[in-house]
Structure 1
Amino acid sequence: MWIGIGVGLVLAVPLVSCSAGGGRGDGAAGSASATTGTSPSSARTAPAVEPAAYRRTLASTLGPLNGALRAVDRAQAGGPLDKAMAAAAQKAEAAAAALDTARTPDNATAGNGRLASALRSLGQDLRSARGGGGRCAASPRVELGTASGPKEVKEASRALTALGYDAALDLPRTEQAKHRRLGNGTLIRDGSRGGLGRLTIDNGTGTDAVVSLTRGSRTALSVYVRHGSDTTVGSVSSGSYTVYFTTGEDWDGGKRSFTRQCSFQKFDDTADFRTVRVAGGTQYTVLRFTLNKVIGGNATTSDVPPGEFPS
């Protein structure tokens, strides 16, 4: 028995002037002009400060932030890292606000503004990179490694330092995105299998998948299927199963979830396996599921909230 699915995983008027008496003017001749005078401008520019004073301002402003960034670097993954990143985000935003009102030497005005802007970006990135702890959550250090804020801070700091104003910051370590995969057909969970049923899964999507069969609240089995591959699981016991599948990149075995480009779905119809003895032998169910859209597919799917996906 073959089952496919029907889903994809996979914009010329002449000018006149008015005279002082309200009449028309025709060009410059005969036009009246008001006598104007000059007065001192009310806008005042704050006087520049000595370089030494600005250096002291930088030190007092960036010092607390540096301490918070070092704490991020030391923090363990999970709650401690999330807490440290939240604290560092507050310090980055406070430092940006302080630099906005700081008096600077003439040659540091532009660089000071650039650093303030970069620190705001860093604060936003520290907040958004914090791990959610749930499924499809990349490491905060990976997220921070691809963010623009740390790069902007590094460039702005170097520019000010090159002018003689130490603005160095100890940015926390980051990590490269991982690409962890299991072998095709790897059983992630294998409950009791004692029948003769066979399930074949075709994964024609662009990412790897994990397919899980559940009965009630229990997961009978979960199997890893690489993209562009198929696999068969045998000895499926008789019963009615709900078939879930998740696709994505970078399989985190600890969380039993992909960390990027995740989707979570289930087939709307159950998979019914039967193993029965008949005269002259045994009859058993053979099913085939295709995860990608196919012509003539006769199965439908629904999205599943990540928290409801079987572990």
Structure 2
Amino acid sequence: MTVYYYKDRFIESGQQLLPIEERAYNFGDGIYEVVRFERGVPVGLSEHLERLETSAAAVRLRLPYSLEEIRAIVAEAAGRVKSEAVDVYFQISRGEAPRVHAFPDAEPVLALFARPGKVHTDESRRVGVSVITVPDERWANCYIKSLNLLPNILAKQAAVEAGAYEAVFVRDGFVTEASASNVFGLHEGVFYTAPAERGILNGITRRFIIAAIRDLGYALKEERMSAAFFEQEVEAAFISSTTMDIMPLCAINSRKLQPLEDTSLIWPVLGRMRELSRG
């Protein structure tokens, strides 16, 4: 079951026609978030709403509702889906207006859908997933969670065609993030991840993972990993996102990594991260 919302009400599938001059459709002129609910409880919803507000300010987009009103709509959408795990995608566009590049005099629009979320098991984490590295050809402001995701789509498709799960971006010789996730490496007992600069999206799950690593007293370096270090030296690595928590890597390009059972540090981080994000 999927639940839909557009402008100011919940709708049935196929009930609403998207205006051709909707700026989300014409320009990707909007922002979005994805939040997970588990047994009716949101995971990091406050943090997602704060980031939505940050993205809106960065692109000078007025929100159509207050954050509390958006929270209520998102929660109601999740509640209408009868599933233990529910993912809610919600976006704000600049609205419908004649197609001109400058900001129009238009009303911003909230649209969302909510549907059952895929649950990754600990067994799937033990197996892990493979990744490839690809050039990072995106724009400079990846900290904004905008609707403009074509480079991410192309990178993800390259991964699929290579038989991999995810594509890790490399810019100027350094790892930034992946097409739909953040990236962590583990080398000689130290966790590495790119700093939260303009060139990456500061993932909500990423933030909870960093807090968990620090709570547990593990060593962490928020610094850029060179592509050579990531591809050739890290003993273990994982990617993270709202919908997967932590997913260990079994291979980077053609190099095999340590099985998760041999990487004892990741399991405590996963457990503590869940406590923090679901507390």
Shorter-chain TM range is under 0.3
User: TM-score by structure 2 length?
Assistant: 0.19
Bigger Cα Rg: 1
How high is the TM-score relative to the length of structure 1?
Answer: 0.18
